[in-house]
Amino acid sequence: MKHLFAHIARHSGLRIPDGSRERLEQHILTRMRALQLQRPEDFVHYLQPGTAGRSEELHLLAAVLTTGETFFMRDAGQMQLLRDTLLPALLESRSRQRRLRLWSTACSTGEEAYSLAILLHELLAGRDDWQIDLYGTDVNPQALRRATTGEYGPWAFRGCDEAFRRRYFEPRGDQWRLQTRIRGMVRFMPGDLLLDTLPAPSRGLAELDLVLCRNLFIYLQPEAIATVTHKLAHCLRDGGILLTGHGELRTQGCDLLHTQMYPQSVVYRKGPPDTQSAPILAPPPLSPVAAPGSAIAASVPSPQRTAKPSTRPSRPLPPTAETDPLLAAWRLADAGCLHEALTHCRGLLTQDPMRPEPHFLAAVLYMELGDTSTAREALRKALYLAPDLIAAHVQLERLQAGADQPQAAHRTRAIVARLLEDLPPDARVPFLGESRAAELGAHWARLHGLEP
């Protein structure tokens, strides 16, 4: 069966985590009966390009190997980045055309696309002369039907407060229905990023200002990630933005895109770096915060916020301030000057080789440049100095999985799960955005089939 799984992964583009193998075996047996196949190997035929029924089989496989997990305003950090920085900048750049084009890919039941619509509704209050083209696509027709209704249960609002729900939704039995004015801002339609020809101007999927493709690449093989990334890049206009989940493209490159680093997330912008206009925001270095079971159970502190010192007896990460020279390296990386940022990191490490943050930033930069071997070594140094640095473990697991080291990757996954479990449920995790520890832990367990 292991040989069969390898064929399925190659033809489908989907990753097959160890924890999903039993479920996948049952799915294959079910499909064999439905297709009247005698051998499991015959199932692979239905996944090959040009085969009748391939699209349906890929959709069914995706339902087995992905979660479709989503909720309103998911990842508060990225939502803040969109609301306060990215969307206002895009609106300013398109102020003469009075038109903005956006796409929520793999949108599942629509919460992400509608969250984007709500942000735009708030930013454009009183400005009715704008044309907003907002698309949501997914391979799952059942999910799209739910998205079109705009009706959701309480679990869809776990990232929002009660005021948000009452402002934009109306009670409908035990469900909540999104107001018509917001529902009308989004057009939902089927879409398969692996199979579809893109760009697709006839469907509106071209010359886009913003593409959200969050929490999809974690399910794909490296070759499929590269294919989809280039497709999405070609769908963007010059200066357009691709926003992914945290760390999803760390080991992938695309010559059409350059990176910009913000406190809340990495952003990928089409076109060459513009060092004059690129933002100079950068994730501040980690600061320790008291937390049971971990020396670094803290959010990434904003420049306006001072983290409380750790009271747990351990080797904490060094305290930092806005004047820390490491910020200069982040600013260089943010401007797309990756090699210059690396040179700056090396200088910092020459002065103080015991700081984990420059090692971690260097690893991120090496991964962006495709030098996975050196990135791995930098991650190991960061983890030697800060064993609780969850973000470094996450990136190490991606390298191990990509290098076909299943046992090492499995051990690292267990470490990440344990560290997340040790944190208070509401704690934010350094360098992993604004998501809370409980949310990240649940997602990590689902993704890798770990016991809760």
pLDDT at 292 over 80: no
In a domain, 291, yes or no: no
In a domain, 275, yes or no: no
Q: Give the chain's domain count.
A: 3
Residue-level pLDDT at 264: 73
Q: Are 46 and 122 within one domain?
A: no
Encode pLDDT of 107-117 as tens digits. 999 999 999 99
Residue-level pLDDT at 93: 95
Ranges 95-104, 361-370, 392-401, 442-451: which has the least confidence:
442-451
Name the most confidently modeled range: 35-44, 149-158, 360-369: 149-158
| CA neighbor of 248 nearest in space, from 300, 212, 197, 302 | 212
pLDDT at 159 over 90: no
pLDDT at 9 over 60: yes
Burial class of 402 by CB neighbour count within 10 A (0 to 12, 13 to 18, 19+): middle
Check: CB of residue 264 under 8 Å from CB of residue 433.
yes
Q: Are 118 and 212 within one domain?
A: yes
Q: Are 105 and 56 within one domain?
A: no
Q: Are 17 and 116 within one domain?
A: no
Check: CB of residue 295 under 8 Å from CB of residue 316.
yes
pLDDT at 281 over 70: no
**List of residues 6+ apart from 444 with CB closer than 8 A:** 413, 416, 417, 420, 450
Domain that includes residue 6, residue range: 2-65
Encode pLDDT of 115-141 as tens digits. 999 999 999 988 889 999 999 999 888
pLDDT at 17 over 60: yes
Average pLDDT for 260-269: 80
Residue 116 has a CB neighbour count (10 Å cut-off) of: 25
| CA neighbor of 152 nearest in space, from 63, 217, 87, 73 | 73
Q: Are 55 and 133 within one domain?
A: no
pLDDT at 308 over 60: no
3-state secondary structure the chain: CHHHHHHHHHHHCECCCHHHHHHHHHHHHHHHHHHCCCCHHHHHHHHCCCCCCHHHHHHHHHHHHCCCCCCCCCCHHHHHHHHHHHHHHHHHHCCCCCEEEEEECCCCCCHHHHHHHHHHHHHCCCCCCCEEEEEEEECCHHHHHHHHHCEECHHHHCCCCHHHHHHHEEEECCEEEECHHHHCCEEEEECCCCCCCCCEHHHCECCEEEEEECCCHHHECHHHHHHHHHHHHHHEEEEEEEEECCCCCCCCCCCCEEEEECCCCEEEEECCCCCCCCCCCCCCCCCCCCCCCCCCCCCCCCCCCCCCCCCCCCCCCCCCCCCCCHHHHHHHHHCCCHHHHHHHHHHHHHHCCCCHHHHHHHHHHHHHCCCHHHHHHHHHHHHHHCCCCHHHHHHHHHHHHHCCCHHHHHHHHHHHHHHHHHCCCCCECCCCCCCEHHHHHHHHHHHHCCCC
Residue-level pLDDT at 279: 37
In a domain, 80, yes or no: yes
Q: Are 61 and 82 within one domain?
A: no
Q: Find the Cα–Cα–Cα–Cα dihedral 363, 262, 236, 146, rounded to 10°.
A: 100
In a domain, 281, yes or no: no
Report the percentage of the chain scoring pLDDT > 90. Answer: 33
Q: Are 50 and 185 within one domain?
A: no
Q: Are 341 and 249 within one domain?
A: no
Q: Are 49 and 117 within one domain?
A: no
If pLDDT is split at 50, 70 and 90, which confidence band does 317 have? very low
| CA neighbor of 227 nearest in space, from 247, 249, 202, 203 | 249
Domain boundary among 24, 45, 65: 65
If pLDDT is split at 50, 70 and 90, which confidence band does 407 have? confident
| CA neighbor of 62 nearest in space, from 134, 2, 142 | 142
In a domain, 193, yes or no: yes
In a domain, 302, yes or no: no
In a domain, 174, yes or no: yes
Domain boundary among 35, 65, 95: 65
- Distance CA(407)–CA(452), nearest Å, equals 20
Residue-level pLDDT at 324: 60
Q: What is the CATH number of the domain that holds 114?
A: 3.40.50.150
pLDDT at 343 over 80: yes
Domain boundary among 65, 99, 120: 65
Q: What is the CATH number of the domain that holds 404?
A: 1.25.40.10
Laid out side by side, the sheet with 266-270 consists of 186-190, 131-138, 99-104, 208-213, 236-244, 266-270, 257-261
pLDDT at 106 over 60: yes
Q: What is the mean pLDDT of the chain?
A: 81
Check: CB of residue 213 under 8 Å from CB of residue 105.
yes
Ranges 252-256, 301-305, 374-378: which has the least confidence:
301-305
Q: Are 25 and 136 within one domain?
A: no
Q: Are 6 and 113 within one domain?
A: no
In a domain, 300, yes or no: no
Encode pLDDT of 208-261 as tens digits. 999 999 988 888 888 899 999 999 999 999 999 999 987 677 556 688 998 887
Q: Are 137 and 98 within one domain?
A: yes
